[in-house]
Amino acid sequence: MMSPTTAAAATATAAAFLSAAPASSSSTHRRRSRRAAISASLSSEEPLLIRAARGEDGLPRPPAWMMRQAGRYMASYQALSKRHPSFRERSETTDLIVEITLQPWHAFAPDGVILFSDILTPLPAIGVPFDISESKGPVIQSPVRTEEQVRELVPIDLDKLQFVGESLKILRSEIDGEAALLGFVGAPWTIATYVVEGGMTNTYTNIKRMCHTAPNVLRGLLSHLAEAISDYIIYQVNSGAQCIQIFDSWGGQLPPHVWEQWSKPYIRQIVAKIKTECPHIPLVLYINGNGGLLERMKDIGVDVIGLDWTVDMADGRRRVGDGISVQGNVDPAYLFSPLPVLTHEIHRVVKAAGPKGHILNLGHGVLQKTPEEAVAHFFDVTRSLRYDTLFQGHLTEELQPVA
């Protein structure tokens, strides 16, 4: 974060850049202004986010959305949660999924609208029931650790996930081309950590031990998950999702050579199938703590690599090269800073990423208690950006990936 001296400099720098946010007005007026700005920029082209994911030239600015942009920091979500206290109900009931997903869309008009769901949502459809504990998070009563348990897993039953498909169809109609609709899944390794450990863990000792004591069991589990997740992605795409993000949230807990053996092949299996069945759909891969993995992620075949906030954007861009788009990576804590400081950081990240193949996002999900004013400011600033102004007089070199 910035010192007071740096913050003061940021204020001056922000003023020298494009205007940070519109003058304050009623929330209704501001929402209308945002929608008008989006409508004015629409053409017959695909949504800005999809074009940036594909690395198209000539975009006017980077698109923006936020991981966890629907959720606990929003007053509207908090009010809904009081009426519907069960997370499973909120994430598995079509009307509630649609309402929650659209809350940040109505409030902030991001360029991407991501389905409100959970990476564990498809587990019951493959024969792994789970509960959500307010104190412990996900709880799986019978962790899968034996060959017999893996054999008992079933192919994914998409009929048990109709609420996902129905929600995506409604959302695609509601958004009506003004933003990209994103679906998402967990990567096999990340899903397996919950299935093997029985829930959340800080150590991952059971699944890491299985790499050495029961490798065939773990391979069977990961292969089954990869097949199920692939089918789940195709189902989301057929229901209206225009882009899919794969979260390998706990891949960064592995040493790079272990991730290469136990996570990467199963993500690659998914990507290969999706690129065959749905070649038009951009795929984003996000790994929390991926600073040591970037070079190993390049050849998986995804269109976009998400960078967490611990990776310097300019360095990350150099390491993956121009052939892959990047996403990120403002530190979520900047949303608690003075707004001019946030403005300065957005400009810094965008300039470091360059004028092509960048989706602006946080480096992780929105934190609890994040001020909604800061989220609104983030998107207002992004809409004010113009590449031709930011990069005026600057030559942009074509970056080759680091070997």
The DSSP-derived string for 58-121 is: --SS--B--TT-SSTTSHHHHHHHHHS--HHHHHH-HHHHHHHHHHHHHHH--SEEE----TTT
Residues 49-70, buried b or exposed e (16+ Cβ, 10 A)?
bbbbbebeeebebbbbbbbbbb
Helix (H, G, I), strand (E, B) or coil at 124: helix
Question: Tens digits of per-residue pLDDT, 229-263?
Answer: 999 999 999 999 999 999 999 999 999 999 999 99
3-state helix, strand, coil in the chain (%, to 5): 50, 10, 40
pLDDT of residue 291: 93
Cα radius of gyration rounded to whole Å, the chain: 21
pLDDT of residue 39: 46
Q: Which amino acid is at 1?
A: M
What's the mean pLDDT in 195-213? 96
Q: What is the largest CA-CA distance in the chain?
A: 65
C-alpha span between 311 and 328 (Å, rounded): 10
CB distance 325 to 359 below 8 Å: yes
pLDDT surpasses 80 at 7: no
What's the mean pLDDT in 63-90? 97
C-alpha span between 159 and 9 (Å, rounded): 56
pLDDT band at 76 (very low <50, low <70, confident <90, very high): very high
C-alpha span between 170 and 98 (Å, rounded): 7
Hunting for tokens 């690395």 — which residue is that? 55
Question: Tens digits of per-residue pLDDT, 375-400?
Answer: 999 999 999 999 999 998 654 555 45
C-alpha span between 155 and 37 (Å, rounded): 45
What's the mean pLDDT in 131-145? 91
pLDDT band at 322 (very low <50, low <70, confident <90, very high): confident
C-alpha span between 199 and 206 (Å, rounded): 11
What's the mean pLDDT in 285-297? 95
Question: Tens digits of per-residue pLDDT, 185-194?
Answer: 999 999 999 9
Residue whose C-alpha is closest to residue 194's, from 245, 266, 129, 269: 129
β-sheet with 283-286: strand ranges across:
112-114, 180-186, 243-247, 283-286, 304-306, 325-330, 358-362
C-alpha span between 291 and 310 (Å, rounded): 7
Strand partners, 286: 247, 306
What's the mean pLDDT in 78-88? 96
Per domain, the residue ranges of the chain are 46-385
Give the H/E segment covering residue 136: none
CB distance 143 to 198 below 8 Å: yes
C-alpha span between 297 and 167 (Å, rounded): 31
The strand pair at 180-186 and 137-139 is best described as unpaired
CB distance 49 to 179 below 8 Å: yes
pLDDT above 90 coverage of the chain, percent: 84
On average, the pLDDT of the chain sits at 90
- How many Cβ atoms are within 10 Å of 399's Cβ, its own excluded? 15
Q: Which has the higher per-residue pLDDT, 9 or 386?
A: 386
Of the candidate CATH numbers 3.20.20.210, 3.40.720.10, 3.40.50.970, 3.90.1150.10, the domain formed by 46-385 belongs to 3.20.20.210
